[in-house]
Amino acid sequence: CMIIRPNGFALWENMRHALDQMFKDTGHENAYFPLFIPKSFLSKEAQHVEGFAKECAVITHSRLKSVNGGVEVDPDSALEEELIVRPTSETIIWDAYRNWIQSYRDLPILINQWANVVRWEMRTRLFLRTMEFLWQEGHTAHATKEEAEVETRQMLDVYKTFAEDYMAMPVKTGIKTESERFAGAVDTYCIEALMQDGKALQAGTSHFLGQNFAKAFDVKFQDKDGEHKYVWATSWGVSTRLIGGLIMTHSDDQGLVLPPKLAPTQVVIVPIWKNDEQRNEVMEYADPIYKELKDAGVSVKMDDRDNYKPGWKFAEHEVQGTPLRIAVGPRDVQNNNLELARRDTLDKEIVNRDGIAGRVKENLKAIQSDLYKSALERTEQQTRTVGSFSQFKEEIEKGGFIYAHWDGTAETEAKIKEETKATIRCIPLESDDAGSCMVTGEPSKQKVLFARSY
RNA sequence: CGGGGAGUGGCGCAGUCCGGCAGCGCAUCUGCUUUGGGAGCAGAGGGUCGCAGGUUCAAAUCCUGUCUCCCCGACCA
């Protein structure tokens, strides 16, 4: 069961808000589709059924009845057709699109939905693989293949930008191999991030669906030339898994480290006093600081709880990852100072109170870019190229990304996975020299990116 | 489904081998002292030891059955 408590949800809301704005900036609108999908919908696209059949929650009955003080499923309430709790919404959305699309004038349809989905996983892993998760799923319909391909790539770029500029999490982009591809897609593009333990995390996917769903759901439009044609489709999504990625990218032994652009609270002020007299004096000094920061657009919280000591508060805000901490006590009031502490470096400095808003904003900016820089440095340090399979086997034990040549066959891919637990995270989009497969020696057009992954 | 581990106050655990008053740390409550890095002292409350049988004068402990949870693997955003 998934419970997201207020602090965690505030983080998700910030992520959601930033992404939502990026979707709108690229012409998308939000909508909402049903949670329950008739079972027959799932079976319309062959690959799609295959991919999701094994992990669906199925609704078979509509009511309970009381029996001896308890309740039992009422056998008389069996549904004529079972309902599936959506594992993803392609089918129910394309069923709706059939009715929405007749002419080329109805295209493109650029829709996103924020929703929960359920996948009945054999084994769950906190944040990374939960039975229920929150996500957004974009579903677009286009008149031409080219336009759909451009959309697929555009949304991949949106995800990369979000990961790097907001989460401060560097990512590699590329295309999935056939075996790793989304069930029902022609091509799956992805962003892959490297966690601090050297394992890769698939952080977002953008699928070019071709005409697979249009054909399965019979979605055609009449084009300018009078011809009836199947619609071209894309879908793309990121989930609460990003929270896991964020944690595993930046956090340290003291707790979370949150990038300022996403932190629910960017700055916390901890006032310090010994008695009521000092309390009044310190609060009189601290309140205008709070107001000044708030007016400057900083997300700031005054932690003036009297039932916790300063040291306790410091530790708690470190655990929660608040990027900047301001401590003010009687000494600072005397000297017109305050103590500024960075969560990422744990550095503390005494600074003058004047011009504090500007200084805080500079610091937040610096933390944001330093987090990205150090994550990038770590990722690059753990990324290398190998030429032989024996070298690959040795290197993969150290974790990280490895570029190597592969002959393009599923057999070789499976053999590598079998022997090393490493998978092909993606086939990079950048051009690269040809070579020969590290396993079979067969020709390879380019190197691909390997890692052990979550 | 296969392999391993665990169920004892709210949380984390010891006690089980070798049966004998149910304990410890944290948290909670009260009082006083404290407050610039997770406070100190004194006191208090809180547990049918997962569940059901059995053995015994006596069971958290031994026996039988059963349920649940966690970890590793197969599946996956």
Q: Is the pTM of this model over 0.90?
A: yes
Average per-residue pLDDT in chain A?
A: 94
**Which nucleotide does the CA of A254 lie closest to, via C1'?**
B38
Cα gap A81→A59, rounded to integer Å: 9
Q: Quick count: other Cβ atoms within 10 Å of Cβ A274?
A: 10
- Please report, rounded to a whole number, the percentage of residues in chain A having pLDDT higher than 70: 99
- φ/ψ of A95, rounded to 5, equals -65, -35
Residue with tokens 């005054």: A302
Cis previous bond, A108, omega within 30: yes
Instruction: Please tell me the distance from the alpha carbon of residue A149 to that of residue A235, in angstroms, as a whole number.
Output: 11
Report CA(A420)–C1'(B73) in Å, whole number. Answer: 15
As given in the structure block, the two tokens for residue A104 are: 């080329």
A260 has pLDDT over 90: yes
Nucleotides of B under 7 A from a protein CB: 1, 34-39, 71-77
Residue A412 is encoded by which pair of tokens?
A: 């070789």
Q: CA(A70)–C1'(B58) in Å?
A: 38
Report yes or no: A140 and A113 within 8 Å, Cβ to Cβ.
no
A293-331, pLDDT tens digit by residue?
Answer: 999 999 999 999 988 999 999 999 999 999 999 999 999
* Average confidence (pLDDT) over A196-204: 93
pLDDT at A124: 80
Closest amino acid to nucleotide B71 (CA–C1'): A123
Nucleotide nearest to A117 (CA to C1'): B77
Q: Tokens 């909508």: give the residue.
A: A31
A47 or A232, which is more confident? A232
Helix axes A276-295, A356-381, angle to 10 degrees: 70
Q: Which residue is nearest to nucleotide B38 (CA to C1')?
A: A312
- 8 A C-beta contact, residue A237 and residue A140: no
Q: What is the pLDDT of residue A1?
A: 67
Q: How many angstroms separate the CA of A119 from the C1' of B71?
A: 21
Judge whether A271 and A283 are in contact, CB under 8 Å. yes
Distance A363 CA to B39 C1' (A): 32
Rounded average pLDDT over A53-60: 88
CA of residue A72 to C1' of nucleotide B62, angstroms: 39
Which nucleotide C1' is nearest A127 CA? B77
CA A282 to C1' B32 (Å) is 26
With a CB cutoff of 8 Å and minimum separation 6, the contacts of A109 are A97, A100, A101, A139, A140, A141
- Write the CB contacts of A313 (distance below 8 Å, at least 6 apart in sequence): A268, A270, A303, A305
Average pLDDT over residues A13-32: 98
Contacts of A391 (CB under 8 A, 6+ apart): none
Q: What residues contact residue A196 under an 8 Å CB cut-off, 6+ apart?
A: A248, A249, A251, A378
The CA distance from A160 to A166, in Å, is 10
Question: CA of A69 and C1' of B58: distance in angstroms?
Answer: 38
Q: CA of A308 vs C1' of B21, distance in Å?
A: 39
Give the pair of three-digit tokens for residue A276. 């009521």
- What ipTM did this prediction achieve? 0.85
pLDDT over 90, % of chain A: 86
Smallest CA–C1' separation from A188: which nucleotide? B77
Nearest DNA or RNA nucleotide to A332 (CA to C1') = B36
What gap in Å lies between CA A126 and CA A243, rounded to an integer?
10
In this complex, the nucleotide whose C1' atom is nearest to the CA atom of residue A130 is: B77
For residue A285, the one-letter residue type is Y
Q: How far is the CA of A7 from the C1' of B48 (A)?
A: 38
Task: Name, in order, each residue with C-beta under 8 angstroms of A17's C-beta and a sequence gap of 6 or more.
Answer: none
Q: Across residues A206-220, what is the average pLDDT?
A: 97
What's the CA–C1' distance between A123 and B3, in Å?
A: 15
In this model, does residue A68 exceed pLDDT 90? Answer: no
**Nearest nt (C1') from A307 Cα:** B35
Nearest nucleotide to A282 (CA to C1') is B36
Closest nucleotide to A338's CA, by C1' atom?
B36
Of A49-53, A149-153, A274-278, minimum mean pLDDT range: A49-53
C1'-nearest nucleotide to the CA of A201: B77
Distance A376 CA to B4 C1' (A): 38
Q: What is the 3-state secondary structure (H, E, C) of chain A?
A: CCCCCHHHHHHHHHHHHHHHHHHHHCCCEECCCCCEEEHHHHCCCHHHHHHHHHHCCEEEECCEEEECCEEEECHHHEEEEEEEECCCCHHHHHHHHHHHCCEHHHCCEEEEEEEEEECCCCCCECCCECCEEEEEEEEEEECCHHHHHHHHHHHHHHHHHHHHHHCCCCCEEEECCHHHCCCCCCEEEEEEEECCCCCEEEEEEEEEEECHHHHHCCCEEECCCCCEEECEEEEEEEECHHHHHHHHHHCECCECCCCCCCCCCCEEEEECCCCHHHHHHHHHHHHHHHHHHHHCCCCEEECCCCCCCHHHHHHHHHHHCCCEEEEECHHHHHHCEEEEEECCCCCEEEEECCCHHHHHHHHHHHHHHHHHHHHHHHHHHCEEECCCHHHHHHHHCCCCEEEEECCCCHHHHHHHHHHHCCEEEEEECCCCCCEECCCCCCEECCEEEEECEC
Tokens for A426, please give them. Answer: 């993606």
Can you read off the two tokens belonging to residue A199? 């394992």
Note the CA–C1' distance, A126 to B6, in angstroms: 20
- Span A390-417, mean pLDDT? 93
pLDDT at A85: 93
Nucleotide nearest to A337 (CA to C1'): B36
CA A397 to C1' B10, whole Å? 42
Our CA dihedral for A406, A409, A410, A412, rounded to 10 degrees, sits at: -50
pLDDT tens, residue by residue, A79-136 = 999 999 999 999 999 999 999 999 999 999 999 999 999 998 877 888 888 888 999 9
> How many angstroms separate the CA of A272 from the C1' of B9?
36
Q: What are phi and psi of A107, to 5 degrees?
A: -110, 155
Mean pLDDT calculated for residue range A155-161: 98
Tell me what pLDDT residue A130 has.
86
